[in-house]
Amino acid sequence: MSGVRVSRRRFLGGSAAAFGGLTTGLFGASLAAQPKAPPLARPLSTLVPSGPLDEAYWWKVRGQFNVVDGLTFMNNGTYGPTPRVVTEALARYERELAEDPTDNYRNEGRDAVRARMAAFVGAQADEIALTRSTSEGMNIFIRGLDWKAGDEVVYCSHEHGGGIQPLQQVEARYGVKLVKVEVPSPPESVDQIVKIYERAMTGKTRLLMVSHMTYVTGLITPIAALCGLAHSKGALISVDGAHPLGMLDLNLNATGVDHYAAAGQKWLLAGTGTGVCYIRRDLQDRIWPLMGYADQKAVHDPKSTSFGAKRYELGGQRNVPSFMAMAEAIDFHEAIGKKNVEARVRQLSTKLRGGLKGIPGVKMWTSEDPQFAAGLTLFSVHQIPMENVVKAIYDYNRVWIRTMTTGNLNGVRAATHVYNMPDEVDRLLDAVTHVAKNASRYMTTTTG
pLDDT at 248: 97
pLDDT at 51: 87
Which pLDDT tens digit goes with each residue over 110-126?
A: 999 999 999 999 999 99
Which pLDDT tens digit goes with each residue over 385-423?
A: 999 999 999 999 999 999 998 767 889 999 999 999 999
Taking the domains of the chain in order of start, what are their residue ranges?
12-81+338-441, 87-333
CB 275 within 8 A of CB 306: no
**pLDDT reading at 278 higher than 90:** yes
What pTM was computed for the model? 0.91
The closest alpha carbon to 121, from 257, 236, 222, 228, belongs to 257
pLDDT at 292: 82
pLDDT at 105: 87
Distance between CA atoms of residues 42 and 21, nearest Å: 15
Residue 14 vs residue 137, higher pLDDT:
137
The closest alpha carbon to 344, from 54, 42, 16, 38, belongs to 54
Radius of gyration of the chain (CA): 23
pLDDT at 29: 39
**pLDDT reading at 6 higher than 80:** no
pLDDT at 448: 45
pLDDT range class, residue 317, cuts 50, 70, 90: confident
Distance between CA atoms of residues 249 and 245, nearest Å: 8
pLDDT at 38: 63
Find the mean pLDDT for residues 177-184. 96
Which pLDDT tens digit goes with each residue over 235-245?
A: 999 999 999 99
Q: What's domain 87-333's architecture?
A: 3-Layer(aba) Sandwich (3.40)
pLDDT range class, residue 69, cuts 50, 70, 90: confident
pLDDT > 90 fraction of the chain, expressed in percent and rounded: 84
pLDDT at 37: 60
CB 233 within 8 A of CB 253: no
φ, ψ of residue 54 to 5 degrees: the values are: -90, -175
Find the mean pLDDT for residues 29-35. 43
**pLDDT reading at 316 higher than 80:** yes
In CATH terms, the superfamily for domain 12-81+338-441 is Aspartate Aminotransferase, domain 1 (3.90.1150.10)
pLDDT at 77: 96
The closest alpha carbon to 238, from 157, 138, 145, belongs to 138
pLDDT at 1: 42
Which pLDDT tens digit goes with each residue over 344-368?
A: 999 999 999 999 999 999 999 999 9
pLDDT range class, residue 14, cuts 50, 70, 90: very low
pLDDT range class, residue 445, cuts 50, 70, 90: low
Distance between CA atoms of residues 279 and 116, nearest Å: 16
Which pLDDT tens digit goes with each residue over 204-226?
A: 999 999 999 999 999 999 999 99
Residue 68 forms beta bridges with which residues? 11
pLDDT at 32: 44
pLDDT at 36: 54
